[in-house]
Amino acid sequence: MASRSEDKLHKLRKELADTYCPTIQSVPILTAEVNDPKSLDRLVKQCDVIISTAGPFWTIGIPVVSF
């Protein structure tokens, strides 16, 4: 799981674990800043799949898929 905010992602992962799937707690949390190419590069090198749900896509999604 990745996000710009590690704190928010920890909260979301806990909520998902409590509500749906306790094993999600073992999923690593990664952070990246969409306007920081080095940050995105580090992120994509650690991932097999990237699903971007942030929007608006034309401003936030394009930098991510360019990798």
Q: What percent of the chain has pLDDT over 70?
A: 93
The backbone torsions φ and ψ at residue 30, rounded to the nearest 5 degrees and listed phi first, read -120, 155
Nearest Cα to 53, choosing from 11, 22, 12, 7?
12
Token match 């971007």: residue? Answer: 52
What are the residue ranges in the chain where pLDDT is below 50? none
Nearest Cα to 27, choosing from 45, 54, 7, 47?
47
Verify that 25 and 39 share a domain, yes or no. no
Verify that 2 and 27 share a domain, yes or no. yes
Verify that 45 and 27 share a domain, yes or no. no
**pLDDT tens-digit profile of 35-48?**
898 998 999 899 89
Helices (H), 1-67: 6-19, 37-44, 57-65
Q: Is 30 helix (H, G, I), strand (E, B) or coil?
A: strand
Verify that 64 and 38 share a domain, yes or no. yes
Total domains present in the chain: 2
Residue 9, domain extent: 1-31
Verify that 20 and 39 share a domain, yes or no. no
